[in-house]
Each structure stands twice: as structure tokens, then as C-alpha cells.
Amino acid sequence: MLRPAAGDDPAAAPAADRAVALAECGAEAAGAPVPGSYRPAPCPPGGVRHRAAAAWERGGAAFTVAEAGTGRPLGAVALTPPDARGTAGLGYLIAPRERRRGLAVAAVRALTAWAFRHGLARAEIRCDVENLAAQRVALAAGFAREGTLRAALPRPGGDRADAVLFARLPRDPGDPVRPYLPPPPDALTDGVVRLTPLTAADARDYHALACLPEVVRYAVPPLPPPYEDSLYRCRHAGARWLAGERADLAIRDAATGAFAGHVQLANVVPPLGEATIGYSVSPAYRGRGFAPRAVELLVGWAFAATPLVRIVAGTAADNAASHRVLEKAGFTREAVLRGRLPGVDGARHDDVQWVRTRRDAG
């Protein structure tokens, strides 16, 4: 349940103080902090009450998320004062020991419904692009993803993080938003290869792989990426997965956990139930079956967990190694698209396309 914040309540633990401090920043942060994200300073005694009172005085709202029956504080949720366009930002934090109980979703839903009854025209949640837990809460609370705001959130040390913007209107149904690609699993493995969602921690390994001449040769376009682009791709990978745009995973040695390559589902077209797959393996792991194993793992997950029915792989006509990978992974050569792939110095190359369907997998 939601109740007015009571800072003098002896049961208001430091976690609840901290929760209100974060919730007060509704437009700047939401949900459990991620490494490097906004962290409010601890409140002094009675600070919860004073922060809550200040929020109400400015035209916003602040509530404690409390346990029904006992009133024990579990976290906090707050709304910033509406701006001139009738938009308010929503923030929340649940005490660490109370998470994974659906409390954040329930609190966001309750506060949003209360705000709409009081005339709010639009509610927003801004999540750090790497804070996937907060993004899942926004989706489960019926908020629609509207885009990415560059450098919208402050981080310690003067750095700024991109934010994913979610919004909900009074006329929206409020039903949970189901991502076309389900939330990424912690890992997929066959005992030899392990696939884990790509993150910013993989940026240097990913970048080194993407800049290898033999990888650049078959890239689209065939140019080595700047490191900033590689970091951006890794940092945004989880958010783009939840958006249903693509699924990027690191290929790892299951025995050591070492980075061994990259595999992806991209160009997702929901009306067709189709996506494309791509992969690259680091030199030290080539010739050991890592690529076909990674493709098999990702395709198997896609057909089991998503609505996809067709997965296509495009290859250069002279990329015999990639053709062998696809054959081992159960793909069938389907078509040649003449002059589709860009080459060096304006050249064009044929795209030999391979496909595997859900029917093939069955």
C-alpha cells in the first residue's frame, strides 16, 4: 500500500530514507541504482518527512511503499510537480531486501492511477540505459517506451548517462507491455559455449574483435568502428533487447568465461516473424566449433521463447567459413541477392542468403 511518508516513524530504516531521496528525483532516476548511476545522500533523522513535505509543497507527491497490515516501510515512490504541459516524472526505490516481490510495479501503478485521477495529463519514467530492472518495471506498469534521451541523467564524477524514456497517458490501457523479444536470459549454454547478454564490460573485447581485418572485410559497411561506437553498442545492448530491436550476446568459453566472440539477432520484423543472425569469433577460438554452437544456442532460444518463425543469415559469396557454420547449424541456402553488399572503394558484392525456419527446428 501507499501512505504518506513518515520520517519520524522509528521503523523508517535508512533504506526507506534513501528510497525517498531517490524517488524525489523522479525525472532524473528510477528504480534500483546500477553501477555508476545516481545515488542520493543519506537523509538525516526526520529527513523523509521534510523531503515529502517539500515535494507536496511544490505540487508533487511523495509516498512510502508500506506493507499492508503492519505499515512497515518497504520503499518510496514520488511524482515531480507537473510542468506547464501537464507532464510529471515518476521515481521510486524499493529496499534491497524487499525486491523481486512485484512491489515496484504495484507502487508505480498505484501512484500513476492516483495522479491521473487528479488530472495529470502524462506520466514519465526515465531510466538509466543500463538499468534493465527499472526498464522492466516501467513496461510491466503499462508505460510505453518512447525513445532514448542522450546524456539526460547525471552520474558521479560529472559523467552523464543516456536515459530510456517511458510514458503513460490516462487513455492508455495500462496493461503490461510485453517485449517482442523476452528479457535476456542470464546465460545460454551447451557446456562448451556460453552466451551472455552483451554489456559495457565487454566493450574492449568486442571492439578488438570488430576491428580485425577479416571481420571488417565482411562487415556492413566494411569499416572498423570507432571505440565510442563499440562502447555505445555494448552499453545500449540490453535496452535495445527490451525494445525488441535486436539481441546481442557475447560468446564465452563455458569453462573459463573468457570472451570468445559475438552473436546477434538483428533486423527484427515482427509482422513477418523474421530476424537476421550474425556472428564473429575471436582468432583463439576459431576451428573449435564455437560459431555453430553459438548460432544453434541462439536460434534454439529464439524459436522457443519468441514469435520468430524465420531467421536469415546473409553472407558474402566467398565467405566459405561462414557457409560451413550455417550448414552445421541447420541452415539451408535459399537465395542470392545480386550486388546487395557494400564493399571497399564502392564495390558491390552478392549476398548469399541462408535460412532456418521454426518448421526446420521442429
For domain 188-361, give the CATH number. 3.40.630.30
Residue 334, all three cell numbers: 535459399
The predicted pLDDT at position 48 comes to 54
The confidence band for 9, taking pLDDT boundaries of 50, 70 and 90, is very low
Buried-exposed string 40-64: b where 16+ CB fall within 10 A, e elsewhere = beebeeebbbebbeebeeeebbbbb
Assess whether pLDDT exceeds 60 at residue 27: no
- Quick: pLDDT tens for 141-158: 999 999 999 998 887 788
Q: Among 26-40, 168-182, 200-214, 319-333, which stretch is predicted with the lowest mean pLDDT?
A: 26-40
**Global pTM?**
0.87
Mean pLDDT of 239-258: 97
Cell of 33: 541504482
On whether the CB atoms of residues 88 and 79 are closer than 8 A, the answer is yes
N- to C-terminal Cα distance for the chain? 47
Question: What pLDDT does residue 2 have?
Answer: 86
Percent of the chain with pLDDT strictly greater than 70: 85
Q: Distance between CA atoms of 317 and 284, rounded to whole angstroms?
A: 25
Identify the band that residue 75 occupies on the pLDDT scale cut at 50, 70 and 90. Answer: confident
Share of the chain above pLDDT 90, in %: 69
- Report d(CA 94, CA 100) in Å as an integer: 10
* CA pair distance 216, 250, nearest whole angstrom: 18
221 upstream amide cis, omega within 30 of 0:
yes
Could you tell me which residues are beta bridge partners of residue 262? 250, 280
Partners of 90 in beta bridges: 79
Q: Where in the chain is the domain with CATH 3.40.630.30?
A: 2-168, 188-361
For residues 94 and 74, what is the distance between their CA atoms, to the nearest angstrom?
Answer: 6
Q: Which letter does DSSP use for residue 255 in this model?
A: T
Q: Is the per-residue pLDDT at 26 higher than 50? A: no
Fold entry, domain 2-168: Aminopeptidase (3.40.630)
Q: pLDDT tens digits for 295-317?
A: 999 999 999 999 999 999 999 99
Q: d(Cα 4, Cα 271) in Å, to the nearest integer?
A: 46
What would the mean pLDDT of 195-222 be, rounded to a whole number? 97
